[in-house]
Amino acid sequence: MIEFQHVHKSYNNGFIALKDINLKIEQGEYVAVIGLSGAGKSTLIRCINRMHDITDGSLQVNGVEVSTLKGQEIRTLRRGIGMIFQSFNLVSRMSALKNVLVSFVPDMPFWRKALGIFTKQQKIEALEALDQMKILDKSFTRVDQLSGGQQQRVALARTLAQKPQIILADEPVASLDPVTAQQVMSDFQRINEELNMTIIMNIHHVELALEYATRVIGIRNGEIVYDGPASAVTENVLNHIYNGKLKEELTMV
């Protein structure tokens, strides 16, 4: 479980990104975080894996207070939390398989890291992750030769290989065409349902959020202004979240 209690986040320039966030997310939920640009969506999910430190309040993941962790404790936390980015964060000159194998590097002995030697079991698990994402046939293809959707699937396979309990996704379909975005969102939905994996996604595409997520959190000016089932989101709710600027926001995507 993920629990925010009176969480605040401000930056050194004085900008307040999150204001008194109180939130519980249970294991197996598929949550979409929506709102205007700069509303605090990315900050919210990046606090969960300590990419950003909170300024005040309590943030716990499975009963562990995230803000007090140090060194190896932070690395252990992040092993259980996969992170998917808009830009895929793949090594373009390497094959899909080698990109997935990178997920094992943090736990490897130094000499294996230095020589790039992976065990047979690690290779099997990496191939299984690619197969799970239905991209096994691209295992030995350089990722810069893959489409955007295929690259995002490789990124998902890399995350699955580390066997996380939680996946955080920061605008994972923002750079994809509409058809491919639908396919990738379906992949997230399948992972959520088949593996009972918690997925928390910051997303601009409101229609995709409502179609695929089961729960929607709306943020405006750093505050949660809506938290409920995706099926209950109405035009009035969207106007409240976006302060009447939804159409303007969508033209910026």
119-128 residue pLDDT tens: 899 999 999 9
Beta bridge partners of 219: 224
Would strands 56-61 and 215-220 be described as parallel, antiparallel, or unpaired? unpaired
186-235 residue pLDDT tens: 999 999 999 999 999 999 899 999 999 999 999 999 999 999 999 999 88
44-93 residue pLDDT tens: 999 999 999 999 999 999 999 999 999 989 989 999 999 998 888 899 99
Tell me the three state secondary structure of residue 14: coil
228-239 residue pLDDT tens: 999 999 889 999
The torsion region of residue 28 among left (phi > 0), alpha (psi -120 to 50) and beta comes to left
Through-space distance between the first and last CA atoms of the chain, rounded to whole angstroms: 32
Entry pTM: 0.90
For the chain, the structural domain boundaries read 90-163
Q: Which amino acid is at 188?
A: F
Structure tokens at 138: 């691209």
